[in-house]
Chains A and B, each alone.
Chain A
């Protein structure tokens, strides 16, 4: 946004953003189109686009000579795809929620911001309409960091609605930062799921020709349209190349890199399937298969208790954080413990000992779950004495669940079951989130 001074200065001359102007200052004499102002630039510059396409910033002074050459013609709009229904193809519901995959340049923040309509995204990837008969639900348009369980609930309801109306599968486009929370949430919320539900997104916005959005969207649509996987999963690049996407179980996925295309990795699990450039599906791991005869409707168990917290254990951490959460009526806490699932319980300094805080919370009926900040591997309550102290103080060890999955699961359990049942179910497998066997993988990060 331009300052009110600049806006007023321009308005007096009948000039608005998008108009063609000539600007003369001591240094410069240029013609161009006034661009919307990014907030991050210096506040006293006017940005104009020259005929050669370049933007430049011109320092504003009240004696700047600005003259109007022409008003803006037409509105700035991105082209949109016209959806042509093709009944011969499997029907897939495309649920659009925002995120980088559907983002374009925004002038408000100078950053990438969600602006596009799903039809604009499909315009960039027309091949998607050749894979499936797409219908679009435009749910909302937010960044994944702004997402909460309220949005997960809406997404689950929308997926259930579409599948129960006859869609063969569903694709959810969503921001990547919290995609693995959403995939866990949808996994728990969708009961009796008998269709593939593929969450996908992009690490590079779709306004660049190198975006991973295009291939991710095609691969996810292929999974939804043609695979027999009756699970929720994340479908994103499996390597930095555009050669393969993998479909990772929704309860076992995690974003493991801030920026790479192949940020999503299966944790303590193999990917269910992969999709290559030619869109051939290869099944890799075990999965729930669709049963065509089941005839059962998918049920959206969307209740979620938001009074659950996640706490990261670290050296010097203050156990009072537990008291704080209890004082805020928190019903469950997932600890991201160190190593096999530790919190400091035999410290030399009493003020750093977590034992009393944990005990008192557990005694107050708060469910305390333990996962590991190692991310990979299973927690174990027995190997060390300190672990045993914790487990006998009421902490539930969450097996090989990531802290994020354990967190989502606990919120979902508390929303749908009594506290007692929730506590019991936390360490029992419900939707494939707990695996009894961790198979050896030479390179476990892949």
Chain B
């Protein structure tokens, strides 16, 4: 990775870097996209009212072709359990009632974003079903409609095309995934979501990050989107010359986009390198065979534990390549293992690992090689487990090993390590055949009135910046606020209280950063508490300095602001009370009085008031 760090745009051009983003943003509509449930997301502590369990399978799409990624998920034959919260999910979410009319508020928001991105809005929206059989939707599809085409944005002089934007349903949130199945929460299922795609010509990872930031800001200033963790997600599509398109899902932290991209470049480069070496070595992947007989009285713990069968296959000319590191702490063996795991086994054992460590005896190794008809120079891969699972797993591992000759595979991968910024295989990249019409919802004609409304409502970052500057008289603070997730909160506080905008902005941006550095979890303070604190300040009940104390306390434990003020004795001393204290200091100079009072009542006395009383 270091080899590429700091390389200019030329470097990325040379390696044939292609990159596009898909930004998914949840909307803050009152109701969900196809039913009347609220769009609020329940906290982790919420108790489900009931649950159901389902199985799903791949079916033929509209044009008769089964989508490869849908079939792949079915192979895993998992049971899906859905937690149902009566307040946040109805029969529609759990696929027990047809969808209602699409939510107008969501539609209007999506159209206004399309307008902001200078897109061409489709004349008639056609609701579609996107087959998804990973269980994240109880209906086995996600409802989605293409809203607009052909837009563009300009980010620091670079024009990036926005070829398409969609309005769709949010999927279920995963609670737990075990060998047997996956449990999902249905509260967020069906919340409206816009997906904004860029074209694949973002020239370098740093620009990718800026594009994401730009689009995120546009969405946020609309005031029509949800905030907080998980409310915006970036999927990154990337390939290099000789590689293939890979989609990385679930990068939640914008700051990590470029690191993930650099690692994917490295991964693709290494897979291409492996392909070259395999060709040179005339490598070969042999057919799988049953090796259970070899391990009748084995001391290999991992095999003892997985009672069932042991299957394996030989690989000629792979020596050293299974252990070849293609990403930090990820080897070709890891890639093959990730495929095998899809069938529900714990992983694979391969011959580039330290086999002594597993406890293989020499006799066993000889017997494995004999049974697989390979020499000492060749490699092997073993899978142990219940017969059915092991058979499926070895099939998957075998197919992945063979694909090493193809270099990089078209895959959907998921960001699974936010420290090393590496990904793991999720499923093959879906194709267009996963789409078919949502026949339960009528197409929606886009009228002239809807278009005009969209134009009027389009969020405008330039206008927003001008507004903020006018309010704050501070360009830097205004631009920090514009890019900050706290923007909407700032607007809410300023419009609902008479607190000074600059003070609010400084607190939310600078003070928050300062407190975060001190290790305080200020971002967990609820908007309502923050509004209450600023309200108390605006009403003259507390001083500016007291706000800091309140923030510190609230970041430790949630509490009612008024009670907190009383508990910490933060009530502002003002007017007559302050005058009385001043009078008790008689005989001292003004400066001495000021210092004495501020040292005793720093948090309770407003400096400006004190000064004016002292005059």
The answer for the CA separation of A106 and B439 in the assembled complex, in Å, is 8
Asked if A68 is at the interface of the complex by the 8 Å CB criterion, the answer is no
Contact A57 to B125, CB < 8 A, known contacts A41-B442, A209-B57, A209-B59: yes
Chain B residues whose CB sits within 8 angstroms of the CB of A239 once the complex forms: 52
Asked if A56 is at the interface of the complex by the 8 Å CB criterion, the answer is yes
Give the one of A57, A110, A259 with max B CB within 10 A. Answer: A57
Asked if A42 is at the interface of the complex by the 8 Å CB criterion, the answer is yes
The answer for the CA separation of A53 and B435 in the assembled complex, in Å, is 5
Q: Are B437 and A55 in contact (CB under 8 A)?
A: yes
Q: Are B60 and A42 in contact (CB under 8 A)?
A: no
Chain A residues whose CB sits within 8 angstroms of the CB of B160 once the complex forms: none
**Contact bitstring B52-85, A, C-beta under 8 A = 1, else 0:** 1111111110111010001000100000000000
Q: Are A41 and B443 in contact (CB under 8 A)?
A: yes
The answer for the CA separation of A277 and B180 in the assembled complex, in Å, is 14
Contact A210 to B124, CB < 8 A, known contacts A28-B149, A105-B62: no
**Contact bitstring A40-68, B, C-beta under 8 A = 1, else 0:** 11100101011111111111000000000
Q: Which of A87-128 contact B (CB under 8 A)?
A: 105-106, 110-112, 120, 123-124
Give the one of B56, B74, B123, B130 with max A CB within 10 A. Answer: B123
Q: Are A207 and B442 in contact (CB under 8 A)?
A: no
Asked if A291 is at the interface of the complex by the 8 Å CB criterion, the answer is no
Chain A residues whose CB sits within 8 angstroms of the CB of B442 once the complex forms: 40-41, 110
Asked if B98 is at the interface of the complex by the 8 Å CB criterion, the answer is yes
Q: Are B437 and A206 in contact (CB under 8 A)?
A: no
Q: Are B139 and A208 in contact (CB under 8 A)?
A: yes
Asked if B121 is at the interface of the complex by the 8 Å CB criterion, the answer is yes
Asked if A392 is at the interface of the complex by the 8 Å CB criterion, the answer is no
CB of A65, distance to nearest CB on chain B (Å): 15
Contact A41 to B52, CB < 8 A, known contacts A28-B150, A79-B60, A260-B96: no
Q: Are A210 and B123 in contact (CB under 8 A)?
A: no
Chain B residues whose CB sits within 8 angstroms of the CB of A54 once the complex forms: 126, 128, 144-146, 164, 166, 435
Give the one of A49, A239, A258, A277 with max B CB within 10 A. Answer: A49
Contact A240 to B52, CB < 8 A, known contacts A27-B123, A29-B150, A210-B140: yes
Contact A59 to B60, CB < 8 A, known contacts A50-B146, A110-B442, A210-B140: no
Q: Which of B435-456 contact A (CB under 8 A)?
A: 435-437, 439-440, 442-443, 445
The answer for the CA separation of A52 and B146 in the assembled complex, in Å, is 10
Asked if A215 is at the interface of the complex by the 8 Å CB criterion, the answer is yes
Q: Are A53 and B433 in contact (CB under 8 A)?
A: yes
A42 touches which one: B150, B440, B445 (CB < 8 A)?
A: B445
Q: Are B96 and A76 in contact (CB under 8 A)?
A: no
Q: Are A45 and B124 in contact (CB under 8 A)?
A: yes
B120 touches which one: A28, A47, A258, A261 (CB < 8 A)?
A: A28
Q: Are A241 and B62 in contact (CB under 8 A)?
A: no
Q: Are A261 and B96 in contact (CB under 8 A)?
A: yes
The answer for the CA separation of A192 and B137 in the assembled complex, in Å, is 46
The answer for the CA separation of A56 and B149 in the assembled complex, in Å, is 10
Q: Which of B114-163 contact A (CB under 8 A)?
A: 120-126, 128-131, 133, 138-141, 144-146, 149-150
Asked if B591 is at the interface of the complex by the 8 Å CB criterion, the answer is no
The answer for the CA separation of A260 and B97 in the assembled complex, in Å, is 7
The answer for the CA separation of A364 and B146 in the assembled complex, in Å, is 64
B164 touches which one: A42, A52, A215, A258 (CB < 8 A)?
A: A52
Chain B residues whose CB sits within 8 angstroms of the CB of A40 once the complex forms: 442-443
The answer for the CA separation of A359 and B52 in the assembled complex, in Å, is 52
Chain A residues whose CB sits within 8 angstroms of the CB of B432 once the complex forms: 49-53
When C-beta atoms are compared, the residue in chain A nearest to B60 turns out to be A78
Categorize the interface residue count of chain B: 35 or more
Q: Are B140 and A105 in contact (CB under 8 A)?
A: no
Q: Are B120 and A42 in contact (CB under 8 A)?
A: no
Q: Are B439 and A112 in contact (CB under 8 A)?
A: yes
**Contact bitstring A212-255, B, C-beta under 8 A = 1, else 0:** 00110000000000000000000000011111000000000000
Contact A79 to B437, CB < 8 A, known contacts A209-B141, A210-B56: no
Q: Are A208 and B129 in contact (CB under 8 A)?
A: yes
The answer for the CA separation of A210 and B80 in the assembled complex, in Å, is 11
Q: Which of B314-332 contact A (CB under 8 A)?
A: none
When C-beta atoms are compared, the residue in chain B nearest to A206 turns out to be B59
Chain A residues whose CB sits within 8 angstroms of the CB of B123 once the complex forms: 27-28, 45, 56-59
CB of B141, distance to nearest CB on chain A (Å): 6
Q: Are A47 and B59 in contact (CB under 8 A)?
A: no
A260 touches which one: B54, B91, B164, B435 (CB < 8 A)?
A: B91
Chain B residues whose CB sits within 8 angstroms of the CB of A124 once the complex forms: 57, 59-60
CB of B183, distance to nearest CB on chain A (Å): 13
Asked if A204 is at the interface of the complex by the 8 Å CB criterion, the answer is yes
Chain B residues whose CB sits within 8 angstroms of the CB of A420 once the complex forms: none
Q: Are B439 and A110 in contact (CB under 8 A)?
A: yes
A53 touches which one: B125, B138, B434 (CB < 8 A)?
A: B434
Chain A residues whose CB sits within 8 angstroms of the CB of B377 once the complex forms: none
Q: Are A210 and B126 in contact (CB under 8 A)?
A: no
Give the one of A47, A53, A110 with max B CB within 10 A. Answer: A53
CB of B589, distance to nearest CB on chain A (Å): 76
B443 touches which one: A57, A105, A208, A215 (CB < 8 A)?
A: A57
Give the one of A51, A56, A58 with max B CB within 10 A. Answer: A56
Q: Are B59 and A207 in contact (CB under 8 A)?
A: yes
The answer for the CA separation of A45 and B125 in the assembled complex, in Å, is 11
The answer for the CA separation of A41 and B58 in the assembled complex, in Å, is 28
30 contacts between A and B (CB under 8 A): A28-B123, A38-B437, A41-B445, A42-B443, A42-B445, A45-B123, A45-B124, A45-B445, A49-B432, A49-B435, A50-B432, A53-B432, A54-B144, A54-B435, A56-B123, A57-B443, A57-B445, A58-B124, A79-B66, A120-B60, A207-B436, A208-B140, A208-B141, A209-B57, A209-B133, A209-B141, A210-B141, A211-B59, A214-B55, A242-B53
